[in-house]
Amino acid sequence: MVLHKLKRLFSKLGAGCINKVWRLGAGGRLFWLTLISSGESFRRFRLTIREVYFTGVLSLIIILVSAFFVGMVLALQGYHTLQKYGSSEAIGVLVALALVRELGPVVTALLFAGRAGTAITAEIGLMKATEQLSAMEMMAVSPIARVIAPRFWAGVIAMPVLATLFSMVGILGGYLVAVPLIGVDAGAFWSQMQANVDWEFDILNGVFKSVVFGVACTMIALFEGYDAPPTAEGVSRATTRTVVTSSLAVLGLDFILTSFMIAV
């Protein structure tokens, strides 16, 4: 009896692992097919622009509002600690570095996965469930070139722009709390920031991170939609998986990228 249960446990574990590896392979294959089918999304850039609107512009509100609050909280928390050491003027640097290096790319990617990623998965999943992708195939039009690739590039374009806007608005939020509210000197706030935020090490690395997150989040959302069982239940499960997988991927990738950046 125990042996039987153990056997079942192992076979379940094995099946789960095989399934995960299979999905990773299928995702990699879709990524490759998307890259080689990308010509269409550049030749007819209108398709990609349209998707930039849906993934990027429509995510603006949630990204900007979140950024504003994140910046304000950072300033409050930062001031609380810094003032103990008498260096409350360094608050500008703290807010800027935290946002540009980490919070900008990471929180944007997490919000993007929740807002745009789920929308992409649901849309592609529904297109599959209602046979729209099949219909396209039967019309001798590749759904990967026509549907997947433009959305992929739109995500990759939108993410760094959103992350940059997130950092900008976050810094503005931090400024509003630190300077007019708490009374930190405005000159010190900006000049310390200017002196200590490095263009290459801080800003470009942050942008690079957001590009990588853009690729990961968009590809995960597209794959989940493309791979979803063509039923209402299948699509809803895929949408959930998009958020979970994207979030974990973003946080994991962030650690790997940061360790490389700091080591270099």
* Nearest distance from C-beta of residue 178 to another protein, angstroms: 45
Please give the residues from 2 up to 61 whose contact with another protein meets the rule CB under 8 A: none
Token readout for 31 is: 């990524």
Report the candidate in 63, 66, 40 with the shortest Cα–Cα distance to residue 51. 40
Give the H or E element holding residue 136. Answer: helix 132-138
Q: Which has the closest alpha carbon to 250: 203, 225, 217?
A: 217
Q: Which lies closer to another protein via its Cβ, residue 146 or residue 237?
A: 146
Closer to another protein at the Cβ: 23 or 44?
Answer: 44
Question: Are 245 and 118 contacting, i.e. CB atoms less than 8 angstroms apart?
Answer: no
Which CB atom, from 41 or from 245, has the smaller least distance to another protein?
A: 41
Compute how many residues bind another protein; rule: CB under 8 A.
Answer: 14
Q: How far is the CB of 197 from another protein (least distance, A)?
A: 42
C-alpha 60/C-alpha 75 separation (Å) is 22
Q: CA Rg, the chain, in Å?
A: 22
C-alpha span between 49 and 98 (Å, rounded) = 31
Smallest separation, CB 82 to another protein (Å): 50
Q: What residues from 145 to 164 belong to the interface with another protein (CB under 8 A)?
A: 146
Binding residues for another protein restricted to 102-141, rule: CB under 8 A: 126-127, 130-132, 134-141
Please report, as ranges, the residues that interact with another protein according to CB under 8 A.
Answer: 126-127, 130-132, 134-141, 146
